[in-house]
């Protein structure tokens, strides 16, 4: 599970047919995650908005968490953080 901030959205008019109708968001992992590689593109089925702190599942957990078992999904927003106890 990754904690990050939604910093933007991504629009793709041509994509795998299993991804049609899904929203994609750009997520910046929080520095506490110590992740190399920069930002993530995550599918968003819960309605996160720019500026919100979110929980992101990756790998096969992302496909399960987004309800996209047969889709080429590697990252999915699975929660919006309501309270961070001020660590972020």
Quickly list DSSP for 24-59. EEEEEE-GGG--SS--EEEEESS---TT-EEEEEET
Contact 3, 29 (CB under 8 A): yes
- As its CATH architecture, domain 2-12+24-80 has Beta Barrel (2.40)
What is the per-residue pLDDT across 21-80, written as a single tens digit (0 to 9) for each? 889 999 999 877 777 778 999 999 899 999 999 999 998 788 766 566 677 888 999 999
What's the pLDDT at 86?
61
Contact 63, 69 (CB under 8 A): yes
Token readout for 49 is: 């908005």
Specify the pTM.
0.83
What's the pLDDT at 32?
77
In what helix (H) or strand (E) does residue 3 lie, and over which residues does it extend? Answer: strand 2-10
């Amino acid at each position: 599970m990754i904690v990050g901030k939604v910093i933007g959205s991504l629009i793709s008019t041509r994509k795998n047919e299993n991804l049609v109708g899904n929203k994609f968001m750009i997520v910046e992992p929080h520095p506490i995650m110590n992740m190399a590689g920069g930002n993530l593109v995550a599918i968003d089925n819960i309605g996160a908005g720019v500026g919100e702190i979110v929980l992101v599942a990756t790998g096969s957990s992302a496909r399960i968490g987004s309800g996209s078992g047969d889709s080429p999904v590697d990252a999915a927003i699975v929660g919006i953080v309501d309270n961070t106890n001020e660590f972020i």
